[in-house]
Chain A
Amino acid sequence: MLDVHHLPGSDLHESKIWTYRRHPITILSLFFITAMVFVLPIAGYIVLDFLYPGLFDVEANLALYVFVASIFFLCGWLFCFQMFIEYWLDVFIVTDKRVLDIDQKGLFDRTVSELRLYRVQDVTAQIKGVLHTVLDYGTVFIQTAGEQERFHFEDIPHPNQIAKNILEMSEIDRREHLEEAVEDFGMPDDNDSDKPHEKMARKMEP
Chain B
Amino acid sequence: MIPLSYFLIAWFVFLAIYAIMALISMLQLVRLGIAGAGTFLSTAAFLVVVIVTVLGVTGYFLTVHWGQDVNLFGWATTSPYINP
Contacts and interface: CB of A to CB of B under 8 A. Distances in A.
B35 A66 contact: no
B37 interface: no
B34 A70 contact: no
A65 to B, nearest CB: 9
B68 A61 contact: no
Interface string B47-61: 001100110010011
Contacts of B69: 60
Interface residues of B, number: 39
A11 interface: no
Interface in A97-117: 104, 107-108, 110
B75 A1 contact: no
Nearest to B69: A60
B35 A63 contact: no
B38 to A, nearest CB: 7
A66 B25 contact: no
Nearest to A55: B76
Nearest to B70: A60
B50 A74 contact: yes
Contacts of A110: 32
A78 B80 contact: no
Interface of A: 1-4, 19, 52, 55, 58-61, 63-64, 66-67, 70-71, 73-75, 77-78, 81-82, 84-85, 88-89, 91, 104, 107-108, 110
Interface of B: 4, 7, 10-11, 14, 18, 21-22, 24-25, 28-35, 38-39, 42, 46, 49-50, 53-54, 57, 60-61, 64-65, 68-70, 75-76, 78-80
